[in-house]
Amino acid sequence: MLELTLVVSERSPMADNLCAVVNSDGMPARLVSPAEALAGWRAGDRTPDLLLVNAALNLSIVRQLAQRITRTTSRPPTVVMFAERDFRELEEHVMAGLDYIIPPFLPGLIGSRLVACHVRQVMSRTTQDIQTAANLLKYERELQIGREIQAGFLPDVLPSRSGWQLTARFQPALEVAGDFYDAFELLGGARIGLVVADVCDKGVGAAMFMALIRSLLRHTASYLDPGSQPAGDEKIDPGADAAVLVHSIATTNRYLTTNHLGQGYFATLFFGILDPTDGSLVYVNCGHNPPVMHRADGTQDLLWPTGPALGLVPESVFDLETTRLGYGDLLFIYTDGVPEAKDANGRFFTEESMLAIIRAQNSGADELLDVFERRLSAHVGFADRSDDITMLALRRQPEYRAPRGRRSAAATPPRRGRAVDGSRSARR
């Protein structure tokens, strides 16, 4: 049963007659002008089930009317057009798939016709809803597969070295992300490569670009490391770290700008190569947020960009920089999803808060990232996550000194911090 029908038309004898006929068939009807209908109507708490609209109105106006009502109720109204004199006015609306009635408007006949139109449109919407739900389920499944594939690009196990702690966290804003991190052995296992990157944009396109960049970096960095480099205590060729960095960054940027410049994607990226024996780190910062070097004495250094983002400018120049992690020093690498995490009021977490957390911690890398996860979660609350969050922390454990009268450090190994198990928070 139709609870309310709006006859949308300027007042005319035919519009008045149509409204009266609908009322006589036991279906409450009310005549309103198009302007009144667009501005709102007074019909108690009821919303119209059906709109009887004069075909003289433009199709865009009819759609606006239906959308306005749909915003106030969970169900869209049934729309039926009528023509007063010129039936050619119906053509545009019929081509758009709308139902229609034509005079003479006779009691009983009009009521049956309107009920039939209403039932047909409701059934049609139900069929569309079922198809939409099926398409959504398929889309969600494909996104889940995409997330599983993307997770395969992240390292299952992080490299482990005595005296070092290395851990990471990865929290995508959507099912798939444009952020990624990586950590892998280089130069016969004598070095560790550290990568944190952020592809512009989010979603499937950014995730595909992420996979491409990660694969290119891994491949090109390994190209100069076929396994013939000496490991252990044997000497590494001078400049090998720099050669790997220059080759991998330049080759990846050249490929991206040659083949994918038109897609408009680029990535900020930090790539460092660590020598665990002495703590030296040679790195390139491609337009990325400056990682934080927190020293054991409480001071902090920022590793500023040394070149532009990858995939942005052909034949870019990327400078190399070096630093060193002393005993007790910690390196925190992150994406902009950390300082720019928003709460429900749109307020950022801020870089100042991030630096304060690092400054206040004097424990291991895992503990630091645990604190960040708690603080970021509390800040964001129930707000939608606005960006991917990726964090990687590397800490050189404080130098062990044996107490006087005890056995030497070689005979009594130092107690290490929690071993890195290589797990990713995205899978927890």
Tokens 């404080």 sit at which residue?
A: 398
* Whole-number Å distance between alpha carbons of 210 and 212: 5
- The dihedral sign for the CA sequence 306, 310, 313, 317: positive
pLDDT reported for residue 130: 65
- Pick from 26-30, 156-160, 225-229: least confident: 225-229
pLDDT for 411: 34
Q: What pLDDT, on a 0 to 100 scale, did the predictor assign at position 371? A: 95
φ, ψ of residue 307 in degrees (nearest 5): -175, 175
pLDDT at 147: 64
Higher pLDDT, 81 or 40: 81
Task: Provide CB contacts within 8 A for 414, sequence distance 6+.
Answer: 397, 400
| Relative orientation angle of helices 204-223 and 109-151, to the nearest 10 degrees | 20
Q: 186 with 193: CB under 8 angstroms?
A: yes
- pLDDT of residue 232 exceeding 60, the answer is no
Sheet holding 191-199, edge to edge: 179-186, 191-199, 267-275, 280-286, 321-324
- Are 409 and 397 within 8 A, CB to CB? no
The answer to whether 251 touches 216, Cβ cutoff 8 Å, is yes
**Is the Cβ–Cβ distance between 164 and 394 less than 8 Å?**
yes
Tokens of 306: 């040394």
Is there a common fold for 5-128 and 155-427?
Answer: no
Distance (Å) of CA 376 to CA 180, 317, 341, 357, 389: 19, 35, 7, 11, 10
Strand, coil or helix: 208: helix
Contact 226/422 with Cβ under 8 angstroms?
no
Which architecture, in CATH terms, is 155-427?
Answer: 4-Layer Sandwich (3.60)
Task: Give the least confident one: 227-241, 250-264, 271-285, 352-366.
Answer: 227-241
The verdict on pTM exceeding 0.85 is no
Name the class of domain 5-128: alpha beta
Q: Identify the pLDDT of residue 113.
A: 86
Lowest mean pLDDT among 121-125, 175-179, 230-234: 230-234
d(CA 418, CA 428): 18
Q: Is the pLDDT of residue 268 over 90?
A: yes
- H-type alpha helices, 235-364: 240-259, 351-360
Q: At what angle do helices 13-24 and 109-151 cross, to 10 degrees?
A: 90
Q: H helices within 162-291, ranges in order?
A: 204-223, 240-259
In terms of Cα–Cα distance, which of 255, 258, 227, 225 is closest to 243?
225
Residue 148, H or E segment: helix 109-151
Q: What is the per-residue pLDDT for 418?
A: 29
Going by DSSP bridges, is the β-strand pair 179-186/164-171 parallel, antiparallel, or unpaired? unpaired
Element housing 79 (H / E): strand 78-82
Closest CA to 322 of 279, 277, 269: 279
Q: Is the pLDDT of residue 50 over 90?
A: no
CA–CA separation, 101 and 50 (whole Å): 13
293 Cα distance to chain centroid: 28
| DSSP state at residue 322 | E
pLDDT band per the 50, 70, 90 thresholds, residue 407: very low
- Residue 226 and residue 186: Cα distance in Å, rounded? 9
Q: Are the C-beta atoms of residues 262 and 245 closer than 8 Å to each other?
A: no
Q: Sketch the domain layout of the chain as residue ranges.
A: 5-128, 155-427
Q: How, if at all, do strands 78-82 and 300-302 pair? A: unpaired
Provide the mean pLDDT of the chain. Answer: 82
Q: How confident is the model at residue 223 (pLDDT cuts 50, 70, 90)?
A: low
Burial class (CB in 10 A: 0-12, 13-18, 19+), 177: buried
